């Protein structure tokens, strides 16, 4: 099985050299737009490419406004602040995620509560969420409070893991019952849809990432998505150090953040966005080759849920146990093919070990079995 996988990947990428997990592809107008920015001298956080990139992302994702940020973590942090998360409060999220999800909560002075995921998509489980809230949530003074520790539950932050949409509509229904705002961590899910609607466009706010390993990249960058014009205006203001517009004076009316995306990065992102439809088609064809191989070898592979159209950002195999998983990781990496295990569960990291969980049965089961495999756009 290991040898056939190595042979398959080398056939797909047509090389005997090292094959990374996910590398960017620059085959469009990237150089032209970057040179245009350099010639204009508007390389920082003011410039036409920032405005164009925001407008094009908003149009593509089907939201009224998009506000660019310096990275995806900044987008999450700002979205949580705009949703009203305050120090000493709690935000429900999942332990199966990149550390930025929990870090953004902590930047607000709040703490994460980790609830289990669904096995077939690795997104927050509506069943687990409903059970947790039924056991621990109580309404008091117009808000939801945690009966275990007396802290206010301020929001819910589900993630669309590896580009596969979580059951966001079911999550929204549950959160509506408890009057909890939903912020979507769609960092990995640009181009993914659930019942025809783009990930990141369902909740009060959503966050995208354009890191170097994402489906399109700005080098480093993120985006806040929302249909609330007032929240979008606040996002723009706060991410620009809360500076009041003036021809020459520097007046800031509240604590702000230097979170704006430079024009240079936005130019790269705009050129990448032009290629996104082709990238998506390419990655779905790649995923199908992996799916066909996995079925032949009787290996479980993560596929898009019924009703979803996934971007297949990172393909994932699920082995029968940790032993087989480790053998596969060793064989593939030893042969110059980068594979990696699932992130360490966030509840196991030293700064989050104290956080409340619901037991995370599915999360603990999957972390020992999952391996991500090379998923770059095939040239």
State how far the Cα of 90 lies from the Cα of 354, in Å rounded to an integer: 13
Please enumerate, as own/partner, the contacts of 10-15 that have beta carbons within 8 Å and a separation of 24 or more. 10/337, 12/286, 12/289, 12/374, 12/378, 13/374, 13/376, 13/378, 13/379, 14/379
State how far the Cα of 82 lies from the Cα of 167, in Å rounded to an integer: 23
Taking only the tens place, the pLDDT of each residue in 354-378 is 999 999 999 999 999 999 999 999 9
Q: What's the pLDDT at 268?
A: 98
Q: What's the pLDDT at 232?
A: 98
CA 75 to chain centre: 10
Q: In this structure, what are the phi and psi dihedrals at residue 19, rounded to the nearest 5 degrees?
A: -115, 110
Q: What's the pLDDT at 366?
A: 97
User: Residue ranges per domain, the chain?
Assistant: 2-24+276-346+356-373, 30-275
State how far the Cα of 23 lies from the Cα of 368, in Å rounded to an integer: 25
Do 2-24+276-346+356-373 and 30-275 share a fold? no
Q: Which CATH number fits domain 2-24+276-346+356-373: 3.90.700.10, 3.90.1150.10, 3.20.20.80, 3.20.20.70?
A: 3.90.1150.10
pTM listed for this prediction: 0.97
Encoded tokens for 175? 């959160």
Taking only the tens place, the pLDDT of each residue in 9-30 is 999 999 999 999 999 999 999 9
State how far the Cα of 354 lies from the Cα of 175, in Å rounded to an integer: 24
Count the residues in the chain: 379
Which class for 150: exposed (0-12), middle (13-18), buried (19 or more C-beta within 10 A)?
A: exposed
State how far the Cα of 284 lies from the Cα of 77, in Å rounded to an integer: 31
DSSP state of 287: H
Architecture of domain 30-275: 3-Layer(aba) Sandwich (3.40)
Taking only the tens place, the pLDDT of each residue in 177-228 is 999 999 999 999 999 999 999 999 999 999 999 999 999 999 999 999 999 9
CA 280 to chain centre: 16
Q: What's the pLDDT at 128?
A: 98
Place of tokens 């902590």: 106
What value does the mean pLDDT take over residues 148-160?
98
Q: Judge whether 188 and 161 are in contact, CB under 8 Å.
A: yes
What value does the mean pLDDT take over residues 329-353?
98
- Our CA angle for 240, 242, 246, nearest 5°, is 90
State how far the Cα of 352 lies from the Cα of 354, in Å rounded to an integer: 5
Q: What is the 3-state secondary structure (H, E, C) of 341-370?
A: ECCCCHHHCHHHCCCCECCCHHHHHHHCCE
């Amino acid at each position: 099985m290991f040898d056939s996988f190595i042979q398959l990947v080398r056939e797909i990428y047509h090389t005997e050299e090292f094959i990374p997990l996910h590398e960017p592809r620059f085959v469009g107008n990237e150089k032209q737009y970057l040179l245009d920015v350099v010639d204009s001298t508007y390389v920082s956080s003011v410039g036409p490419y920032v405005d164009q990139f925001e407008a094009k992302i908003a149009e593509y994702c089907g939201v009224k406004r998009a506000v660019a940020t310096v990275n995806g973590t900044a987008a999450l942090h700002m979205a949580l602040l705009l949703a009203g998360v305050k120090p000493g409060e709690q935000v429900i999220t999942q332990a199966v995620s990149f550390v930025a999800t929990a870090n953004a909560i902590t930047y607000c002075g709040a703490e994460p509560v980790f609830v289990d995921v669904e096995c077939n998509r690795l997104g927050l489980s509506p069943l687990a969420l409903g059970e947790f809230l039924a056991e621990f949530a109580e309404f008091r003074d117009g808000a939801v409070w945690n009966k275990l520790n007396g802290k206010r539950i301020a929001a819910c932050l589900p993630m669309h893991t590896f580009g596969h949409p979580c059951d966001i509509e079911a999550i929204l229904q549950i959160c509506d019952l408890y009057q909890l705002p939903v912020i979507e961590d769609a960092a990995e899910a640009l181009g993914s849809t659930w019942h025809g609607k783009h990930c990141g466009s369902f909740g009060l706010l959503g966050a995208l990432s354009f890191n170097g390993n994402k489906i399109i990249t700005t080098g480093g960058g993120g985006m806040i998505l929302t249909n609330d014009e007032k929240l979008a205006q606040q996002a723009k203001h706060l991410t620009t150090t809360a500076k009041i517009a003036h021809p020459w004076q520097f007046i800031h009316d509240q604590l702000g953040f230097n979170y704006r995306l430079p024009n240079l990065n936005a130019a790269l992102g705009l050129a990448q966005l032009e290629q996104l439809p082709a990238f998506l088609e390419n990655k779905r064809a790649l995923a199908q080759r992996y799916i066909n191989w996995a079925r032949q070898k009787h290996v479980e592979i993560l596929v898009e849920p019924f009703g979803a159209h996934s971007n297949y950002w990172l393909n994932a195999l699920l082995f029968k146990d940790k032993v087989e998983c480790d053998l596969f990781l060793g064989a593939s990496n030893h042969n110059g093919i980068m594979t990696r295990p699932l992130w360490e569960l966030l509840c196991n990291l030293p700064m989050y070990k104290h956080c409340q969980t619901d037991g995370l049965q599915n999360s603990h089961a999957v972390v020992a079995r999952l391996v991500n495999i090379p998923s770059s756009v095939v040239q």
